[in-house]
Structure 1
Amino acid sequence: MATKRKSAARRGKKKSEARIMPAWLRTILAVCIIAVFSAGFYWFFIRPYAYRWKPCYGQKGYGVCMPCDYEVHGIDISHYQGSIDWVQLTTNKTTKFPIHFVFMKATEGGDHADDTFPFNFDQAHRYGFIRGAYHFFSPKTDPLKQADFFIRTVQLIPGDLPPVLDVETIGKSTPHDLRIAVKTWLDRIESHYGVKPILYTSYKFKNRYLSDSVFNTYPYWIAHYYVDSVKYEGPWHFWQHTDVGNVPGIREEVDLNVFNGSLEQLRALTLQK
């Protein structure tokens, strides 16, 4: 029995020794794991925002590096910006990067109105900004219901920018169904206001879901952050180049935009008499 126990102990010892990983192999595995996690962290959390930390070779304004070669600047706002000091905001018209236009969120889905819209829309007109209103599109809600809700909420006058459709999510819709719903909203709005609406969406979303040529007939407002220039190859009218601007008169960070043209061309885009 003693011999059998010794033999079993020797076998157990050999198995235990066989299971021990060599130190050099453990080191290699640890390095590989660290490298994989570091690469993933950079790819998902650092790379998309790396442009924020690049040296600014142009001119800085509103806390960010401003795009070069654009003379017409603007912002877009919603209730997220809180209470706005419109008198102070007006002083930005005389700065190096004067603010000429302001887009405001008016509606979302079929029944959600931005509670700051009526006051801000009125103040923008009072203080001489070229103003515009946008609707945040919900793929799960009837597009005609959404369009009619926007129409009831937003009364445009000559000098205002065309209505804007903000499309950012596909929800549970198929790309085909999304395109039909978006076109339905655009058609209803164009029929009512007598002007082609502006289509707002990101560079990637436009290429992935709204690349149909039918949408290229609408003025395009592109959201494309942390890049030196617009990469979109087609025509575009507005470029939302950052979401972290700091503008006097607004306490919260705000989206900054440029218009791809002159101030006269921007006015020509507005509703006419």
Structure 2
Amino acid sequence: MTFLGKIMAVLALVVLASCGGPSSGPAVMAGQGRGPQFGDSAPHPWVGGHPYDHPVHGIDISRWQGDIDWNRVRSSGISFAFIKATEGGDHSDPNFRRYWREAAQARIPRGAYHYFYFCRSGSEQAAWFIANVPRERGAMPPVLDLEWTASKTCPHRPPSHEVLREAKIFKDILHRHYGQRPIIYTTVDFYRDNNLGSWPEEFWLRSVAGHPRIVYPGQRYSFWQYTGTGIVPGIKGNVDLNVFAGSPAQWRVWLNQRLQ
């Protein structure tokens, strides 16, 4: 290849990299030196902005991730973890306490989440969460996961006013106990069906095809779950990947304000 040809090839690669197209390789963010080492097993084009444009990434996990090498996870560029703790009023994730301890040992900020169940009251579910999740200094705020379930034991879809009433009871009890307002995780259909945009809460939004500013127009959020097919060193199989909606400096401020 001639010298001019080499120059043109390099320029073509630069242009291709700047297009923000799908990639199954590692996410490399500008200004971070050695970029994060995670990727996606089922990438696709993004509408309205690419999640890799965000510099602060994290995971959310449950028992299905099995054994985790948390030090490898941290060194790959993961900055936080949300860990499933409870569901309904009588189910706890069998790996929660181990993950909770191991993530702390690896110095990864972590928070616990509860999968809301529509056949139990908000107060019952709050009591169950509190019985399973320690109140400790250094934990991120608890998360209330609100989405329509496909449970065979509870196919009930209550009206919006009932959903909001019981969810509010749950989050208010957790706020009093942990001293932090819970973050609300939700999906597009649940958000729309229950007018969650009317809530003055901190949100973690799921959107696996388009940027939240398009999918949830006008909604402020702190976290965005952008794929369920992430690849992270230290975790076998696919894992959910998320970003924090801010810069590394803003992330540090957010943590300092919330780690009690």
Relative to the length of structure 2, the TM-score reads 0.75
- Decide whether aligned partners of structure 1 residues 206 and 115 sit closer, same or farther in structure 2, where only a CA change above 3 A counts: same
Shift of 1:268: 3.6
Q: Does 1:113 align with 2:55?
A: no
Q: 1:245 & 1:81 partners in 2: Cα distance? A: 12
Q: What does residue 59 of structure 2 align with? A: 75
Q: Does 1:163 align with 2:148?
A: no
SS of the residue corresponding to residue 114 of structure 2 reads strand
Q: What does residue 90 of structure 1 align with? A: 74
The residue type equivalent to 1:180 in the other structure is R
Q: 1:67 & 1:58 partners in 2: Cα distance? A: 11
**Deviation readout 1:99-147 (Å, 9 max, x if unpaired):** 1000000000001000000000111111011111100000110110100
Q: List structure 1 runs of 4+ shifted beyond 6 angstroms.
A: none
Q: 2:62 & 2:80 partners in 1: Cα distance? A: 14
Q: For the pair shown, which has the larger CA radius of gyration, 1 or 2?
A: 1
Q: What does residue 44 of structure 1 align with? A: none
2:232 equivalent among 247, 263, 270: 247
Higher helix share: 1
Q: What does residue 152 of structure 1 align with? A: 131
Q: Does 1:57 align with 2:21?
A: yes
- Decide whether aligned partners of structure 1 residues 155 and 141 sit closer, same or farther in structure 2, where only a CA change above 3 A counts: same
Equivalent residues, number: 212
Q: What does residue 24 of structure 1 align with? A: none
Q: 1:156 & 1:248 partners in 2: Cα distance? A: 30
- Decide whether aligned partners of structure 1 residues 228 and 234 sit closer, same or farther in structure 2, where only a CA change above 3 A counts: closer
CA contact (8 A) 2:197 2:219 kept: no
Supply the RMSD in Å over aligned alpha carbons.
Answer: 2.0
The residue type equivalent to 1:225 in the other structure is V
The residue type equivalent to 1:117 in the other structure is F
Q: 2:248 & 2:58 partners in 1: Cα distance? A: 11
Q: 1:266 & 1:210 partners in 2: Cα distance? A: 28
Q: 2:141 & 2:167 partners in 1: Cα distance? A: 16
Q: What does residue 227 of structure 1 align with? A: 210
Relative to the length of structure 1, the TM-score reads 0.72
Identity %: 37
Shift of 1:58: 6.7
